[in-house]
Structures are given as C-alpha cells and as structure tokens.
Amino acid sequence: MAEAHDRPPEQFTLRMRRYDPESGEAPYWDEHTIELEPHRSVLEGILQARDRFDGSIGIRCSCRQAICGSCGIRVNGEPSLACHTHLDAAKAGAKDGVIEIEPMGNMPVLKDLIVDMDAVHWKKIQRVTPWLLAKQPVPEREYIVDKDAMVDVTQSMACIQCGACVSDCLAMEVDPGFIGPAALAKSYRFVGDPRDDQQFERLNDLAQDPQGIFDCTHCFKCVDACPKGVNPMGQIMRLRRSATNDHHIVDQNNGERHEAAFTTLIKDNGLLWEAELLPRSYGGNSWFGKFAPPAGKELLSSLPAILKALVRGKVTPMGALKPHKIPKADLKSVQAIYDKIESREERYELNLYIAGEDEAPASPGDPVAAGVTHEPGGHEGSPSGSEPQDTPVETREQTEG
Ligand code: SF4
Ligand code: SF4
Ligand code: FES
C-alpha cells in the first residue's frame, strides 16, 4: 500500500462559508474543487482555491505548522487548525464527501473565515493579567524553580492561543461575558507558578467574578477542541480546587458552598439529593440550611422551575423530602473512595500532558510515573513537598503562548 505521502493528487470539494459584513449581504456558501495530495492540509486547499478561483477568500494563517494559532476554523462543524487537518481525514468526516469550512464560533466574523480575536479572545486574555507578578525581592540571578513545580503548569503553557476552545465553549455561547477556557487556562499558568506573588488575589478575583471560574458548566467541549492537549476545563477545575481547598475562598457566587453541598450529599447518600442541593448551596451545608434567609430567597425565586420539574415528574414530593436510597454495600464503597482521598496528605493532580519516566521501574502506585503531580496548598516551593527528583519529563510540546 502506498504511503500517505506517496499518494497522487485527488480532487476535494470545499464548501466555504463566506461573509463580508461591510457588503451588507447575508452570509452564503461557496463551493470550489481543488486538487492536492490527500495528506496535504485543509489550509493548503483553501489557499489553492483562493489562488485559482477567488482571490477574495478571507483566511488568516502564518506558520502552517500548528504553532502560531492563526488558522483556527471549523471543519465539518468541529473547531480545528486548518494547517493541522489533513484533506483526506476532513473528507472522511464530511457528511456528503464535501468538506464544510466555517469561521470559528463565539467571535464576530471580520471576513469569511477570519474572526475578530481582539474583540473576544484577546480581551479575555488581558482580563486575567497574563504575566508573572514576581515575588520580591527578585533574585539577582536566575530564579531557580523546582522541576516538579513546572510540571504542574506545563500543560497550560502549551497553549498557542488559537481560540478553538473559545469557539466551542457552551457557557460562552449563553454568557458571552464568561472569561472562558483559554483565558482561565492562561490564568492557571501563573496561579500554579511558585514564583508568582499574587496567587490568592488572582484566585479571589476569578472566584468572586460572576463570569469567572464558577461559570464553567463542565461540558468538556474545550477539552475536545484543543489541538494542543491543554485541557482548559482541567485547568479551570484546578483553579477551583486551589481557590476552595487551598485558599478557602468563599465566593459570592456560591461556588464553594455548592461544591461542598454536592460532595457532602453524595458522601452521605451515595447519590445526589437534588432537592437539598439548592438550599444547602445558599443556606449552609446542613439539613438546616433551608431555613437560612438566603436559601429561602433563592427557593422562592426558583419556584417556577421547581413547579415545572414537579409537573414534568422530574422531581416527586417524596424525592424532595427523602434522599435516594442505594444498597448499603454500595454506599460503603462510595464512602471508601472519599475516605481514601481525604486521608491523603497531599492532593494529586492528574496531568495527562506529561509522560513522566522514572529511571527505576515504576511501582504501580507511583503518581509521578502515572503523570500525576502533587499539590499542597498555595503551590509554595516544591509541589511534592519532597526534594527535586531526577525524573526525566517528556512533553509533547513546550511552547508558551
Ligand atoms: S468545560 Fe467550561 S470552559 Fe470548557 S467549553 Fe465547557 S463551559 Fe466552556
Ligand atoms: S487552550 Fe487549546 S484550544 Fe484554547 S486557545 Fe489554547 S491551544 Fe487553542
Ligand atoms: S498557520 Fe499557524 S497554526 Fe495554522
């Protein structure tokens, strides 16, 4: 069988979304058939269409090797880097064999496939103070940082600012003011850096902002969209854990209280007791929470939604009064997970971006070999609390955006 690079040129049809806001015309679809080797990129296909058929096609690109983040578009509805998407793969994923190309979402279109990154993406990046606020006094020579500490932030450093996660963020679609996945991942890059002096201030700011870390709905869209494995949602969860567990920030959005109520209800009952969640999130994490004035106020304002849920059978009066029951053995198993996690002296953070290797064969429980980093409160000094190890760390990419 011929290697992918040896295959002769083939024809590919590109269906492109065209729009020029200055023209006053509505957006429309435009089709061009180009001819290229199948392993070539969608970007090369678009550039060929522009050269051969229509010089007015708008596309932004620069490095053509998945480094600069300029060529973010949607290919068959999925956010992608045009230069990092092969034509044959794109054709295989197309509904009718025609590769559908659109601009990214959640950002205004400037022209055709070019979106206004300044208006959304860069504005949000600026919002999170994207630079190190160094501890004083700064050392006269290099600031030597423990290797383990940097492992913790390597994943967020790999962002190339392409905006693919922003394009697909569901929370941003509903609330355009949400700080968003890319900016929050960037924020973790500094919150997790032991040289930064403003970790509490950064976290407090992001926790208290109604459009901050607690506005994310855990939809995983940014995780799937990211071409660099940054896992923005994972970074947001790290920010939350650091804000609540390490800095004990009680926020005005009830994020910390909601999290505490959620975990307590599952620990006590094995399953979520939905009817208790809201009053506890607002009134305090106990059965008496519902009698606190903030809980009463919130219950009152949620009455239409509660009534609708009752009418639709999503909630039953008994279900509201009593928690769901699971077999005792199952409940014990759930509680055993809590006991195990809570008995750990340090929190483990999974960092799937890092493939750590110990020189000696790793024992099954070795968190470093499993791509796990330790996180004590505040990320001060060595995250593992141990001496720096001679653990070679491989990263797929080490590009700081
Ligand atoms: S997980 Fe959160 S940040 Fe990521 S796309 Fe979904 S809502 Fe947005
Ligand atoms: S987090 Fe990933 S998808 Fe989002 S801007 Fe950075 S590289 Fe692009
Ligand atoms: S052109 Fe640079 S990432 Fe595609």
343-358: pLDDT as tens digits: 998 887 776 665 555 5
| pLDDT tens column, 259-302 | 999 999 999 999 999 889 989 999 888 888 888 888 888 888 88
Q: What is the DSSP string of 101-125?
A: EE--SSS-EEETTEE-TIIIIIHHH
More confident residue, 399 or 305: 305
Measure 64 CA to ligand 2 centroid, in angstroms.
16
Long-range contact pairs involving 87-95 (C-beta distance under 8 Å, separation at least 24): 87/10, 87/12, 87/36, 87/38, 87/39, 87/40, 87/41, 87/42, 87/44, 87/45, 88/4, 88/10, 88/38, 88/39, 90/12, 90/42, 91/12, 91/38
Q: For a substitution probing ligand 1, which of 187, 216, 240 has the most ligand atoms within 8 Å of its CB?
A: 216
Q: Cα dihedral sign for 294, 299, 301, 302?
A: positive
pTM for the whole thing?
Answer: 0.84
236 alpha carbon, closest ligand? 1
Determine the atom of ligand 1 nearest the C-alpha atom of 219.
6
More confident residue, 351 or 237: 237
Q: What is the mean pLDDT of the chain?
A: 87
Measure 156 CA to ligand 2 centroid, in angstroms.
9
Would the CB of 159 count as within 6 Å of ligand 2? yes
pLDDT at 138: 87
| pLDDT tens column, 63-113 | 999 999 999 999 999 999 999 999 999 999 999 999 999 999 999 999 999
Would the CB of 47 count as within 6 Å of ligand 3? no
pLDDT at 321: 83
66 alpha carbon, closest ligand? 3
Nearest to 384 by CA among 369, 367, 360: 367
- Decide: 372 and 333 in contact? Cβ < 8 Å: no
Helix (H, G, I), strand (E, B) or coil at 356: strand
Q: How confident is the model at residue 227 (pLDDT cuts 50, 70, 90)?
A: very high
Dist CA 374 CA 385 (whole Å): 8
43 alpha carbon, closest ligand? 3
| pLDDT tens column, 152-177 | 898 999 999 999 999 999 999 999 99
Would the CB of 70 count as within 6 Å of ligand 3? yes
pLDDT beyond 80 at 379? no
Mind listing the domains of the chain with CATH numbers?
4-115 (3.10.20.30), 118-251+344-395 (1.10.1060.10), 255-328 (no CATH)
| Residue 225 DSSP code | H
Give the pocket of ligand 1 (CB within 6 Å): 169-171, 181, 216-222, 232-233, 236
pLDDT beyond 70 at 308? yes
Helix (H, G, I), strand (E, B) or coil at 231: coil
Q: How confident is the model at residue 2 (pLDDT cuts 50, 70, 90)?
A: low
What are the backbone dihedrals phi and psi of residue 132, each rounded to the nearest 5 degrees, phi first?
-75, 130
pLDDT at 280: 92
Angle at 268 between CA 264 and CA 271, to 5 degrees: 90
Dist CA 99 CA 29 (whole Å): 12
Measure 146 CA to ligand 1 centroid, in angstroms.
31
Average pLDDT, integer, range 170-194: 97
Determine the atom of ligand 1 nearest the C-alpha atom of 180.
3
Measure 222 CA to ligand 2 centroid, in angstroms.
8
Measure 36 CA to ligand 1 centroid, in angstroms.
36
Average pLDDT, integer, range 172-198: 96
Nearest CA to ligand 3 atom 1: 64
Measure 162 CA to ligand 3 centroid, in angstroms.
8
Q: For a substitution probing ligand 3, which of 60, 64, 226 has the most ligand atoms within 8 Å of its CB?
A: 64
Dist CA 231 CA 222 (whole Å): 7
Nearest to 399 by CA among 122, 96, 25, 66: 66
Measure 172 CA to ligand 3 centroid, in angstroms.
24
| Residue 140 DSSP code | S
346, two tokens: 């340090």
Measure 192 CA to ligand 1 centroid, in angstroms.
20
**H helices then E strands: how many in the chain?**
16, 11
183 alpha carbon, closest ligand? 2
